[in-house]
Amino acid sequence: MNIAKYIDHTLLKSSATKKDIKTLCEEALTYKFYSVCVNSFFVPYAKLLLKGSDVKVCATVGFPLGAVSTETKVFETKMAIDQGAEEIDMVLQVGMLKSNNFEMVYEDIKAVKACMGKIPLKVIFEISELSDFQIMKATQLSIKAKADFIKTSTGFSASGATLDALALMKKTAEGKAKVKASGGIRDLNTALQFIEAGADRIGTSSGVSIVEAQIAQH
């Protein structure tokens, strides 16, 4: 198994510089990661650096809080796609989910997906803020809104992905959406555990050390 093809090579810190993004893209080309995941501001630059390669550009939307208006998320999504984003990772409206305003959460995801055409949409839950019931509900709402992936975490909250939450998301999704594990996955053993548990994609800023560890084993 080539673990690099599972990895969205990620840099989402607010302090990320142009030089940092250049390094990220160069690493993605060297190690043949599935994509780079960047804040939407850096999409044009990442697209330029990865031109002619198989590495995709993934952009975050409404990141990291999810607490902007639906109209803002739609605008950011459209702009990111126009500038070359090939996947979108949006943060759902966590506060509205916790308020049991499920219709608003659904409409928020639906509106973003509706403006994307066939480009894959990943919906970020922030599992550390949610109960099991809320994780199940978020999964159901995401699938109803035609999301392609559900994703555990932003990596900016108290904790990241857990195997228990991944199992719950996978079970609830019943194969109708793929699952991305993200947040706190920093070594090969952890990445493999999540893949074995059913993760279709791994979001990590430690992609280089993970792939090098796999190479060293062989």
Residue 7: φ, ψ to 5°: -95, 125
- Tell me if residue 89 is catalytic: yes
pLDDT at 203: 98
Q: What is the mean pLDDT of residues 128-155?
A: 98
pLDDT at 38: 98
Q: Does the reported pTM lie above 0.85?
A: yes
Residue 199: φ, ψ to 5°: -65, 130
CA distances from 161 to 14, 46, 60, 73, 204 (A): 21, 26, 17, 24, 11
The number of helix segments (H) and strand segments (E) in the chain equals 9, 8
| 50: pLDDT strictly greater than 90 | yes
pLDDT at 146: 98
Give pLDDT tens digits for 74-105: 999 999 999 999 999 999 999 999 999 999 99
Provide the domain count of the chain. Answer: 1
Residue 201: φ, ψ to 5°: -150, 150
Q: Which DSSP state fits 127?
A: G
- Tell me if residue 178 is catalytic: no
- Tell me if residue 151 is catalytic: yes
Of 47, 151, 170, 178, catalytic: 151
Helices 70-82 and 102-114 meet at what angle, rounded to 10? Answer: 20
pLDDT at 149: 98
| 1: pLDDT strictly greater than 90 | no
Of 8, 47, 73, 89, catalytic: 89
pLDDT at 158: 86
CATH number at residue 104: 3.20.20.70
Q: What is the mean pLDDT of residues 119-129?
A: 98
Domain that holds residue 25: 3-217
pLDDT at 218: 85
